[in-house]
Structure 1
Amino acid sequence: MAEKTTILDMNRFDDSNLDGLDENKRELVRRRRILGKGYRLFYKDPVEIVRGEGSHVFDEKGNDYLDAYNNVVSVGHCHPHVVEAIAKQAATLNTHTRYLHETILDYSEALIAKMPREIDRITYQCTGSEANDLAIRIARNYTGGRGIIITNEAYHGNTDLVSSFSPSIGKGQALSLEAGILPTPDTHAIGEDEIGDYMIKALKAEIARMKRHGIKFAALLVDSIFSSDGIFPGKPGWLAKVADAVHEEGGLYIADEVQPGFCRTGEAFWGFARHGIVPDIVTMGKPMANGIACSATAVRHEILDTFNDKIPYFNTFAGNPVAMAAAKATLEVMDGEDIMGNAHRVGALFKNELQKLAKDHPSIADVRGAGLYIGVEFDDPETGDPLSIEVLSLIEQMRQHRVLTSNCGSYGNIMKIRPPLVFSESDVNRYMTALEESLTALGL
């Protein structure tokens, strides 16, 4: 049986491979030691990226790589409209939010308009970690509880508080004693029709366990596509009954939209909206400003007010004019270029092609996803054991075909596909050609 792995150790460069690199890369890797051991590189032969455009990046030799992994540059690498907005604002003014400035208001009004009407306040941070950190603080203040429930392989960030609710970081990171853990919503093993009731049962059991230990339930914090757990979107709507159960138990529902938000699923602007949920708090980050550090926490006003009546909130760099200009321009591209429609159309084509390929490759146990977030699970067809080492080899093979992708899940046996949302049909064809050739080369 494969051993469990962690999100930061999957597909990483090992220093033992240093001598196999060319002279330039060896020197760059050596110089990276100044960053400390915590920083990770992808691949046995790391890729040096010097330029990006759309869904493609280019190395120092001018080689074109298909980027099927980067969900930060949601509307594509170096989108001209976003670049222009950043450059114009940076050349004009960049300061903090304690002065009046119109751009942050224009963007906030446009973004809140995409939320359920109940969510009518927004605060800004720089990272998803900061957003989730604040969300937990707000939820605890409002409910008077301390217990935060997450899933088995969740990743919600790396502040001291949030990392203690991020089991996918690994055993070296101690989980909070006030954390409740739900099983991965494994639709492949449990079934899509049963998953909602299965998770509700687990939720109520965790709340009861915490209560026995004197911990009052405060909130459920989930990423609705369960990215680190192995990508389990399930049928639209199944998660709504879990949200209802949270409220029945007196807790808040925190939707971590860092991964599924901003058109990623192709079925709704937000991952939670795909399920018909009205959250209490929504956190977001990565894709909202197409690469500029920007995140946010959107909240029902009655919940936020009880927090701000006691604690004012200020973040020096958050909501600065350059970040707001980038976020506003990114949103304009999403609306103006039908980014969600592209995610839906191309994602459906992509998933269909993967399912067809699976018929000839029994090691592909499941293909699941929504829009341009797809997971391909690889298991031994005889034993059902996860093919963890084989998937690492597959990712390396794909890199040799100049296609960048990665893996996730408890055992790292799930290929994670989450490209920029401008991914095209020709990009899908290139990915599929590389995948089929790689599977054949490995005998999978």
Structure 2
Amino acid sequence: MNTDTLDKPVIGMVNGFDPSKAANLDPALADRIDRRTRLLGPAYRLFYQEPLTVDRGEGAYLYAPDGRDYLDAYNNVVSLGHAHPRVVEAVSAQMGKLCTHTRYVQDGILDLAEEMLPTFGGQIAENGHMMFTCTGSEANDLATRIAMHKTGKRGVIITSEAYHGTSHLTAGYSPSLGAKSPLGTWVRRVSAPDSYRRDVATLGAQMAAEVKARIEDLERHGDGIACFIADSLFSSDGIYSDPKGLLAPVAEVVRAHGGIMIADEVQSGFGRSGEAMWGYQRLGIDPEIVTMGKPMGNGFPVAGIAVRHDVVAPFGQDLRYFNTFGGNTVAIAAARAVFDTIREDNLLANAVRMGDAIRDGLRSLKDERIGDVRGVGLYVACEFVTDHTTKTHDAAIATACVNLMRKKGVLISSTGPGANILKIRPPLIFDASHVDRLLSTVEAALKEI
């Protein structure tokens, strides 16, 4: 893999508004965007060539101030859909009762941890712990620190376009933040498991061989390997769900060199794959640490890690760690409502049915510009290419499709190193009517482009 060529847009700008085009907008909208830039600064980004103004949400829909609805097939943070009544009720009731940190004895956080830990299976279920944070970036930051402390090493291996957070540490191993966002000298990248361009049968062995080579390079430079961390659906790399068992040979290599496996479940966890509660459970590994993010609370700031006892014990003994409001009582109420709803409403099975319907519908379009449709559960990739033989990225079609669909009232985004892949990631409560609207809008957009 030639990492020197990986100069691409900043995350959030692949499908982003270009401020230099503000003169093309309605004057009232342009004024609001100017005010936003003046007050919030230049680092904040907006989606879509024509940014969207919203003032409320319900279920799978967002609503503009004029009442127009937009089908939200992208926003993974609200995993149960916008303003889910069960989460709203739980948060409101707990906020009216008590909102405080974890340094008092309280049953809510213990009850949630007790119910969640068995779902991870393996050694975490047998002898693991939960630690709560406010964001996925914090969770990945904490997991990496624990791995570094446990191993006494600092090397981190990631996939080529990975995104794992925006803290100083996690940004250092999130290449999808852009070529001008520096990676740590202790970071090494391996190729994404591109099941469209490479032989699926040998992907696991190829990735393991690359990982071994990167570990040897880290050892030569005096770092060694602390951990291999991967988003279990390789979201920023282009969304790859096959083959099952992909990471088993990788885990074997990592552990042979004393490293730790971290499964980043911020985007792929909580039933997103439909086949399991956690995405890594399809990939043939029993990770030492699992990280989670804001889908855990349907958008309320709650996240965390699940970690084996023997991995976190030295960290807990040697260091003073706390997260003032990670796992606060209101956050735990939100997380409990989400976790219970996923199980009681059988949303894993729904993710399988609706996800299969979306993929089948996209394939049935038989559009020559579509090179591949893939994914699992309610995580769908639709990749555009200029030629089926060379499989050359076609970012222009993807960008046009995303923005035309926004004009037609359906929200998705794009991803991948070539910005040529539609990223479709609906809430777990998506139903057949939502699928029909999504597919008909994709079809209409492609006909119009």
Interval containing the TM-score (normalised by the shorter chain): over 0.9
Q: 2:422 aligns with which of 415, 418, 429?
A: 415
SS across alignment from 1:87: helix
1:8-54 deviations in Å (ceiling 9; x for gaps): 21111112222232343223211211111111101121111111111
Q: Is the 8 A contact 1:222 1:255 kept in 2?
A: yes
Distance 1:224 1:147 in 2: 20
Give the corresponding residue for 2:153: 145
Give the corresponding residue for 2:49: 44
Distance 1:317 1:27 in 2: 36
Q: 1:118 aligns with which of 106, 117, 123?
A: 123
Distance 1:348 1:273 in 2: 19
Give the corresponding residue for 1:296: 304
Distance 1:415 1:339 in 2: 23
Q: 1:102 aligns with which of 94, 101, 107?
A: 107
Give the corresponding residue for 1:440: 447
Q: Does 1:243 pair with 2:251? A: yes
Q: CA deviation at 1:343?
A: 0.4
Distance 2:209 2:283 in 1: 19
Q: CA deviation at 1:403?
A: 0.5
Q: Does 1:323 pair with 2:331? A: yes
Q: Does 1:135 pair with 2:150? A: no
Structure 1 stretch displaced more, 219-228 or 115-124: 115-124
Q: CA deviation at 1:384?
A: 2.9
Give the corresponding residue for 2:369: 363
> Structure 1 residues 366, 289: CA separation in 2 closer, same or farther (over 3 Å shift)?
same
Matches within 5 A, 1:372-411: 372-381=378-387, 383-411=390-418
Q: Is the 8 A contact 2:8 2:179 kept in 1?
A: no
Q: Is the 8 A contact 1:2 1:411 kept in 2?
A: no
SS across alignment from 2:306: strand
SS across alignment from 2:417: coil
Q: 1:31 aligns with which of 22, 30, 35?
A: 35
Give the corresponding residue for 1:83: 88
Q: Does 1:171 pair with 2:201? A: no
Distance 1:146 1:319 in 2: 27
Q: Is the 8 A contact 1:260 1:271 kept in 2?
A: yes
Unaligned 5+ segments in structure 2 are none
Matches within 5 A, 1:306-321: 306-321=314-329
Give the corresponding residue for 1:286: 294
Q: CA deviation at 1:117?
A: 4.5
Q: CA deviation at 1:341?
A: 0.8
Q: 2:436 aligns with which of 426, 429, 437?
A: 429
SS across alignment from 2:119: coil
Q: Does 1:159 pair with 2:167? A: yes
Distance 1:436 1:42 in 2: 22
Give the corresponding residue for 1:181: 189
Distance 1:367 1:117 in 2: 32
Give the corresponding residue for 1:234: 242
Q: CA deviation at 1:2?
A: 11
Structure 1 stretch displaced more, 231-240 or 127-136: 231-240
Distance 1:107 1:25 in 2: 44
> Structure 1 residues 234, 55: CA separation in 2 closer, same or farther (over 3 Å shift)?
same
Q: Does 1:16 pair with 2:20? A: yes
Structure 1 stretch displaced more, 269-278 or 320-329: 269-278
Unaligned 5+ segments in structure 1 are none
Distance 1:202 1:124 in 2: 33
Distance 1:104 1:268 in 2: 23
Distance 1:236 1:385 in 2: 26
Give the corresponding residue for 1:72: 77
Distance 2:216 2:207 in 1: 14
Which amino acid in 2 is paired with 1:398?
Answer: M
Q: Is the 8 A contact 1:2 1:386 kept in 2?
A: no
Q: CA deviation at 1:303?
A: 0.9
Q: CA deviation at 1:299?
A: 0.5
Distance 1:196 1:171 in 2: 27
Q: Does 1:207 pair with 2:211? A: no
Q: Is the 8 A contact 1:264 1:372 kept in 2?
A: yes
Which amino acid in 2 is paired with 1:403?
Answer: V
1:95-145 deviations in Å (ceiling 9; x for gaps): 111111111111111111211241110111111111111111100111111
The count of corresponding residues between Structure 1 and Structure 2 is 440
Q: Is the 8 A contact 1:138 1:307 kept in 2?
A: yes
SS across alignment from 2:210: helix
> Structure 1 residues 235, 117: CA separation in 2 closer, same or farther (over 3 Å shift)?
closer
Q: Is the 8 A contact 2:13 2:47 kept in 1?
A: no
Which amino acid in 1 is paired with 2:111?
Answer: D
Identity %: 45
Which amino acid in 2 is paired with 1:218?
Answer: A
Q: Is the 8 A contact 1:2 1:385 kept in 2?
A: no
SS across alignment from 1:114: helix
Give the corresponding residue for 2:285: 277
Q: Is the 8 A contact 2:188 2:214 kept in 1?
A: yes
Distance 2:200 2:89 in 1: 44
